[in-house]
Amino acid sequence: MLGDLSAKYESNGNPGLISSGKGDPGGKSYGCYQLSSKMGSLQDFIRWADRHYPWIGTTIRHSTDIDSGWRECARLDRPEFSAAQWAYIKERYYDTAAGSLERAGFHAKKHSYAMRDVIWSRAVQYGTGRIVKMWQEACKSMYNGKDYTGYPNITYVDDKRFDYDLIVAIYKVSKAWIRAESVRNGLEKRFKDECSEALQMLKGER
């Protein structure tokens, strides 16, 4: 299922998970995709749920605190709570990121399932506003490095044969973008493992 790669490395697919927030610039994070309490995605999800899954918003708001409400939602209906998080991330993150990439010339629908899962994962972790920059930097590193002259560029990657090298490059950029030293070791291991899994997924498609 699209989004499984991200969910595995964010939370092992646990919709009720709440991180400690220790050493994380985003603070405590919640659910399958680790919605950030400091960056606003948690609050946005709750508002979104009020419209699409009212019982979730009601349960959280009527609890003594967000943590208790979050865990109660997972207890009451774990599958639907997970489905709600998936639907929110698809709308707010994947669809937005894929749209931004398409306007830049990279059409996700023409690429492998593995590549689409990578788009989902990178959008969740780094946000949708930087996704085009990440893809452009990855394309640049694939070919001419510092001597990059613009060709091949992002519009030349609309073919499955590019996906393997591009996925490798995307995770190299992800590693280069790590800023918080407190989470560097954990993120570097994640990127290595997640990249390998995405590549295995890609190989399985061919």
Catalytic residues: 24
DSSP states of 117-167: HHHHHHHHHH-STTHHHHHHHHHHHHTTGGG--S-S-GGG--SGGGHHHHH
Closest CA to 121 of 32, 36, 49: 32
Nearest to 34 by CA among 112, 93, 76, 80: 93
State how far the alpha carbon of 29 is from the alpha carbons of 9, 19, 167, 187, in Å: 13, 5, 26, 15
Alpha carbon 131 to chain centroid, angstroms: 10
Query: Which tokens is 29 given?
Result: 């994070």
Type and span of the H or E element at 29: strand 29-30
C-beta separation of 148 from 96 below 8 A: no
